Structure 1
Amino acid sequence: MTASLAAIKQLEAQWGQEMPILVHSDLSLVTADLELIHPSFWRSQNLDPTRNALRHLLIRNHITGCTVVINTALRELALPIPNSAFMHDWWLGLVAAAFGKIAYLGHHPPI
C-alpha cells in the first residue's frame, strides 16, 4: 500500500492532481489456508500489465481491485460505478484508460 500511495503522489507531481490516475499491482494466488498456488496472478493468467491502453482493456482486464489505488480525480470521475458495469476494477481501469493514466508496480505485494 505504501508503494502504491507513493506512486500516486509521484504521478500527480508529474501529471497534476487533476489527472485521473490508477495504480495497481500483481498479486499472489493462495488457498484459504494461505498456501501458495502461484506467485503471480498476471503470469498464471498470461496477462500483460503494460497493455494499459483503452483498446486493450476493452477486450481483457488485468486490473485486480484489491491491488488498486486511485486518486481523487479518478474517484470523482468514475464514481458512482454504474449498475451495468461488469466489474468494479474493470470499470475503474476503463475510465482511467479513457480519461487519465494507469501505472502498475513491477513487484507484487502479499495480497
Structure 2
Amino acid sequence: MKAPRFTKWFAALPALNQPQRLRVLDALRPAAGLHQVLALIRLCRSAGRCCPHCQCERWHRHGHANDLQRYRCFSCRRTFNDLTGTPLARLRLRGKWLAYLDALRASRPVRAAAGEV
C-alpha cells in the first residue's frame, strides 16, 4: 500500500465502531507479533520525534535498554524511548502484552485477564 493511501486509511480508524475495530485487529493479528508492533510504534513516532519532557526537537541516540532505542535530549539532557509518554511506557512483561490485550478484548475483568495471562 502506498504511503498516502495508508495515511488516509489510518486516519479513518478512529471513526470505526467497536465491531469494526475488532475485525481490523483480528485481520492484523496473524501478521503482527510484538516485535512488529514495537517497530510500528517506532516508525509512527519517528516522524515528529521530540523530547517528551521539554518538547525540544534536538536529540541523539543514546544506547539501548530493554530492546528499545534510547534517545537523549540536547536541551534538558533527559533520556527517553519511543514508548515514553504513551500508555505502554512503564508496562512490564512485554512478551505478554498481546495475550493480555486479547483477554481484555474478550471483556474479562482486569484481574481475571492478568491471572489468565
Which TM-score band (shorter chain)? under 0.3
Higher relative contact order (Cα pairs below 8 Å, separated by 6+ residues)? 1
Larger radius of gyration: 2
TM-score (norm 1): 0.28
TM-score (norm 2): 0.27
More helix by share: 2
